[in-house]
Structure 1
Amino acid sequence: MRLGVIADDVTGACDLAGRVVEAGLPASVLLGVPTDAATFPSDGSGCSVVALKVRTAPVDAAVASSTEAARSLLAAGATLLYQKYCSTFDSTPTGNIGPIADALAAVAAEAGDGTPAVTVGTPSTPCAGRTQYQGVLFVDGVPLAESPMRDHPLTPMRDSNLVRLLAQQTPAPVGLVRWDDVRRGAASVAERVGQVHTLVDALDEGDLDTIAEAVLQLATERPVVAGGGAGVATALARLVASTDAGDAGRGGDASAASVPPVPVTGRLILAGSASAATRGQIAEFPGERHILDPLLLASDSAALSRVRDALAARDDQLAPVLVHASPDVSAAQSELGTERAAALLEDALSELAAFAVDDLGYSHLLIAGGETSGAVTSRLGISRLRIGAQAAPGVPWAVASTGGADGRGHGRTIAVLLKSGNFGAATLFTDAWQVAP
């Protein structure tokens, strides 16, 4: 199996790739739709993840780039497409998960013999506290709509029933395979996939293994697009790696140690996420910190320069320094609008990343937040990530070469950790450096 993944943001792509590597398959993350087939790995195995920025993009643009990415992956030899979305779904009733699923099913059908394709999956990722039961998504045992995701600034999750939510996003029928049927085995799951889109309950890793086996069984009979959080992709990797454990390049050769070491010349943390987990990590960080307030960025043209000057004046670049968004963004969103407040923060944080790498020579960046990660990697001209060791489940380090928007940073090798806002323990900003390349 060659798994071709279309991820709706950069941190989700890294989450999946890190878990797949740990399960035994090599993986790489490509940032944006590849324009050159040579960008893809040439070893004929493993997992290629195309990281897009489409979670909250306009539907037409999200569908267009996802379709292009899927076709590129199939042309490069992918044998199974995978739609990666957040394990907390992160999608409003008018969101992009359904339209992208429709588009990927159409691409899979085109690539086959014209037989209509189905999508099968679940956001369930038990090791991250995400489970689905009776079609309802739970976050650390709490229904999604009662979790902190209820008040997410961009995608407030007010409905825990994913079947009902997905049905609002697509004209295609949406079905559910309940947990009792999952417990009966892969054949039971496969038999109950009759709708175009099917969500599957899963409470533990064994359930994910059953779903993965059912996906591969279905794929021998008709075009299939797997999907969900990183959980099912990890189970697919486990299944293939265990089957092919004796083959060269499989079952253990996907070691995180294969990424090259990066000499440490500076450590910078940039946090744009407003999630509860990231707020906890900010609160626990004991080192130097600077706050970016969108209202101040909008009203004071020197606000960003003062933070830049503070970074330049530091005597010890090896000690991590944190730059983060103001913990209370509600006032800025109310006055500036949600989109402008977010854009001001993303632009400022990505500009600081470029300044730290290109002008100050920083080698290691830890970025918290999917939108922030996308902005930073774009500003640095990064096109591919080599996945390394995980600092926490779903939070891997990676090694990349920068391009530098102005050419100054071209060819510089840096280590980056791109973290979903919801992931990681409270001490991540202190502990992550221990496993950095």
Structure 2
Amino acid sequence: MLLGCIGDDFTGSSDLGNTLTKAGMRVVQYVGVPGVPAAPDVEAGIVALKSRSIPVAEAVAQSLAALDWLRAQGCTQFLFKYCSTFDSTPEGNIGPVAEALADALNAQQVIVCPAFPATGRSIYQGHLFVGDRLLSESGMQHHPLTPMSDPDIRRWLAHQISGTVGHVPATAVLGGVESTRAALRRETAKGHRLIVADAITDADLVTLGHAAADHLLVTGGSGIAMGLPDNFRARGQLSETSGAWRAQVGPVVALSGSCSTATRAQVTMHAATHPSRELTADAVMSGEVNADTLATWAVGQPGVPLIYSSADPDSVAAAQAHYGASALAGAIETLFADLARALVAKGVTRLVSAGGETSGAVVSGLGLTQLEIGPEIDPGVPMIRADDGLVLALKSGNFGAADFFARAAAMMEGTP
């Protein structure tokens, strides 16, 4: 294994796997820290954790355990992958995990770049944009777990770490690899270890990846990985082979627990032409709904049935105030985990899941341990094979076109 990756959620990890697979690496995504060694032909291994919203100390401990396993597989470079909207609170978890990994590796120069231009995420002057809006005006300020109220990634990260934050401006990145490396050296000389790098286009991310060829640790969204495979290729370390993807037929169900603006629009569009069932906070918390009855309903429906809990920000806030944010989130995730098991037990072979927390619950509920990365559905969202009888699409809340649910289901069975 050459590149060892640690993802803070399951959808983001599959997004990263998609990027590396497209760039020519043989990639396997692991669910949690494996208990056995990796297969010898794996070039990039991704340990997918569910550590984005857990207590800081737990996130750090899980990430360091993942690092230990990846180091034992022989990796020479490591990547900490987090969301392209930098989902975190002023306490963490991105900063503390990045610092802990840097300490463990004795890495003195670490790029921080969540940009993903293909989905509208760019960084300019240290500020994160979603399309033409600052992050804090994009809808992410209403996120129920990690509300992003400040678009300045330098300032947000500084709240989370003990050190200071540097910055490589767009002018340096546009100047090419050597210009970028010189800017990184200047920031390191100032005593900054974590360095936010501007990136406006995919070409900027490739430049950053090439500039980080000798870095022990790189952090960012999946886009920061675009240029990394070239470094291994230049050393003659890639096999340049990949397995053929196989289509999967059979019953399909879509699940959504994301409350992002993008997912709510996808839910609205899909529900207009497909069977749908909304899970309200009251129904979940009262026990009015359960996994078995929902699964029975879903498998009896035509098309691509959708079961969703994707309310608007005001409704989410009211429900959190009434039931408690942690209790409500836990109950919804538990229901989705139970539902995923019930659906597969009833013969469902294709599952489409929207939302990082929801997808994490689905993967954990099914007890999956290793995932094969397949073709891309929409930017940042690949198909994933759990085994010969189950294929999934795990979508971050903010990703995907308006018709994502139907498109994913069609591509899984081999329909263009």
Category of TM-score, reference length = shorter chain? over 0.9
Q: Please state if 1:277 is matched with 2:262.
A: yes
Equivalent AA in structure 2 for residue 433 of structure 1: A
Q: Does structure 2 conserve the Cα–Cα contact (< 8 Å) formed by 1:366 and 1:418? A: yes
Shift of 1:88: 0.4
* CA deviation vs aligned residue, 1:178-204 (integer Å, no higher than 9, x gap): 111112222222223202111111111
Tell me, yes or no, if structure 1 residue 323 matches structure 2 residue 307.
yes
- 1:231 correspondence with 2:231: no
CA distance in 2, matches of 1:182, 1:384: 36
Indicate the residue corresponding to 2:28 in structure 1. 28
1:119 aligns with 2:110: yes
Where do 1:87-236 residues align within 5 Å?
A: 87-109=84-106, 116-193=107-184, 194=188, 195-216=192-213, 218-219=214-215, 224-236=216-228
1:232: how far off?
A: 1.1
Structure 1 contact 259–399 (Cα < 8 Å) conserved: no
Residue 51 of structure 2 aligns with which residue? Answer: 54
- The 3-state SS of whatever aligns with 1:83 is strand
CA distance in 2, matches of 1:363, 1:337: 35
Determine the C-alpha separation between the residues in 1 that align with 2:206 and 2:323.
46
Q: Which runs of 5+ in 2 are unaligned?
A: none
> 69, 78, 83: which one pairs with 2:80?
83
What is the percentage of aligned positions where both structures have the same residue? Answer: 37
Counterpart CA distance in 2 for 1:62 and 1:151 is 23
1:46, CA displacement in angstroms?
A: 2.4
Equivalent position of 2:239 in the other structure: 249
Contact 1:82-1:225 at 8 Å conserved across structures: yes
Q: Shift in Å at residue 254 of structure 1?
A: 3.2
Question: Is residue 298 of structure 1 aligned with residue 296 of structure 2?
Answer: no
Normalising by structure 1, report the TM-score: 0.88
> Does structure 2 conserve the Cα–Cα contact (< 8 Å) formed by 1:289 and 1:321?
yes
For residue 109 of structure 2, what is the amino acid of its counterpart? V
Distance, in Å, in 1 between the alignment partners of 2:90 and 2:54 is 14
Unmatched 5+ stretches in structure 1:
110-115, 402-411
What is the total number of aligned residue pairs between the two structures?
402
Q: Distance in 1 between matches of 2:194 and 2:132?
A: 25
Contact conserved, 1:41 with 1:48, CA < 8 A, in 2? no
Residue 250 of structure 2 aligns to a residue whose secondary structure is coil
Say if 1:83 and 1:228, in contact at 8 Å, map to a contact too.
yes
Distance in 2, matches of 1:323 and 1:315, equals 11
Instruction: Show CA shifts across 1:56-106 (max 9, x none).
Output: 110000000100101111110111000101000011111111110111112
Secondary structure in structure 1 of the residue aligned to 2:207: helix
Further displaced range: 191-200 or 418-427: 191-200
- Aligned partner of 1:408 in structure 2 is none
The Cα shift of 1:309 comes to 3.7
Please name the residue that 1:405 is paired with: none
Residue 153 of structure 2 aligns with an amino acid whose one-letter code is L
Query: Which of 376, 379, 388 is residue 365 of structure 2 equivalent to?
Result: 379
Q: Name the SS for the 1:329 alignment partner.
A: helix
